[in-house]
């Protein structure tokens, strides 16, 4: 289990990150702190594998904490989750070994991608003490670029297999009952517009059956899963 510390001064953002993290298997929340001083104290006392770190924190900022971690040679990885979008801060974070960099605001899809990518790399390091060039190229250095190229050919532009997996899991939990776009969006923390794209794609594949209901206000699309057609997306899951 990958133990995660959230360092975020905004309690609301910290809570969202906590909820997002809870949706992804293989991670557990070690704690939440709201400033760098508390983060240092936490790291001295508790075991942490990964830090989700904001840059703009009162007092010492997140990059100073990242400097501190590297100077102390702590075996802790860091993913930046911040509104800091200027190239200087991004370059600094990457030079200090940040595993990923998410610019606020972001959707669950991007968060999930970062966490799954980190988990995959961690699992590889645990399984193998010695890596060959293929391991490095496919799983560490260029895996994202190659996977992205493959997914672009296999899925419509803008869709990813990690988000498709997440949506399929929620659809399966409906156990054959009708569901709407809004229901899936609420369960996955993905925007309604993005969810709609995935549901339309699954409908085109014949995995979902779509029906339109007219009532007060805008018409609502409802969907039903065709379990016998799930093999149509098995190659992505």
Q: Are residues 137 and 170 in the same domain?
A: no
Range of the domain at 215: 161-236
Q: Are residues 83 and 186 in the same domain?
A: no
Q: Considering 86, 109, 141, which residue would you say is the last residue of a domain?
A: 141
CB count in 10 Å sphere of residue 19:
11
Query: Would 194 be classed as within a structural domain?
Result: yes
Bridge partner residues of 55 (DSSP): none
Structure confidence at residue 151 (pLDDT):
40
Q: What mean pLDDT is predicted for residues 207-211?
A: 92
Structure confidence at residue 149 (pLDDT):
45
Q: Are residues 55 and 171 in the same domain?
A: no
DSSP 216: S
For the record, the structure tokens of 109 come out as 């899809």
Strands, E assignment, 64-214 = 77-82, 100-103, 179-180, 208-213
Q: Are residues 101 and 172 in the same domain?
A: no
Q: Are residues 171 and 205 in the same domain?
A: yes
> What is the average pLDDT value for the chain, to the nearest integer?
87
Give Cα separations from 71 to 39, 65, 76, 97, 160 (angstroms).
15, 10, 12, 12, 37
Structure confidence at residue 207 (pLDDT):
92
Q: Are residues 87 and 54 in the same domain?
A: yes
Q: What mean pLDDT is predicted for residues 17-32?
A: 94
Q: Are residues 15 and 119 in the same domain?
A: yes
| Least confident piece of the model among 93-97, 105-109, 153-157, 222-226 | 153-157
Structure confidence at residue 216 (pLDDT):
65
CB count in 10 Å sphere of residue 207:
21
Does the pLDDT value for residue 82 go beyond 50? yes
Structure confidence at residue 143 (pLDDT):
59
CATH of the domain at 229: 1.10.10.10
What is the number of domains present in the chain?
A: 2
Cis peptide before 105 (omega within 30 of 0): yes
DSSP 84: -
- Three-state SS for 6? strand
| Rounded CA separation 151/161 (Å) | 7
Q: What is the pLDDT of residues 113-141, one digit of tens each?
A: 899 889 988 888 888 788 777 767 666 66
Query: Would 156 be classed as within a structural domain?
Result: no
Structure confidence at residue 105 (pLDDT):
83
Strands, E assignment, the chain = 2-7, 27-33, 50-53, 77-82, 100-103, 179-180, 208-213, 220-225
Q: Say if CB 161 and CB 120 are below 8 A apart.
A: no
Q: Say if CB 188 and CB 236 are below 8 A apart.
A: no
């Amino acid at each position: 289990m990958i133990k995660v510390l959230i360092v975020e001064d905004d309690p609301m953002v910290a809570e969202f990150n906590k909820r997002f993290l809870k949706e992804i298997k293989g991670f557990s929340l070690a704690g939440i702190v709201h400033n760098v001083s508390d983060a240092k104290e936490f790291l001295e006392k508790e075991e942490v594998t990964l830090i989700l770190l904001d840059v703009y924190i009162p007092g010492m900022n997140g990059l100073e904490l990242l400097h501190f971690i590297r100077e102390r040679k702590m075996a802790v990885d860091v993913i930046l989750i911040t509104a800091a979008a200027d190239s200087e801060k991004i370059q600094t974070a990457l030079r200090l070994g940040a595993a990923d960099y998410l610019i606020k605001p972001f959707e669950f899809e991007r968060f999930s991608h970062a966490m799954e990518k980190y988990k995959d790399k961690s699992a590889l390091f645990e399984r193998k003490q010695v890596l060959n060039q293929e391991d490095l190229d496919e799983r560490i250095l260029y895996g994202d670029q190659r996977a992205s190229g493959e997914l672009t050919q296999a899925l419509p532009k803008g869709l990813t297999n990690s988000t498709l997996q997440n949506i399929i899991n929620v659809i399966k939990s409906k156990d054959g009952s009708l569901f709407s776009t809004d229901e899936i969006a609420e369960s996955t923390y993905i925007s309604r517009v993005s969810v709609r794209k995935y549901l339309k794609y699954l409908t085109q594949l014949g995995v979902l059956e779509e029906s339109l209901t007219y009532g007060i206000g805008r018409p609502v699309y409802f969907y039903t899963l065709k379990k016998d057609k799930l093999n149509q997306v098995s190659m992505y899951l």
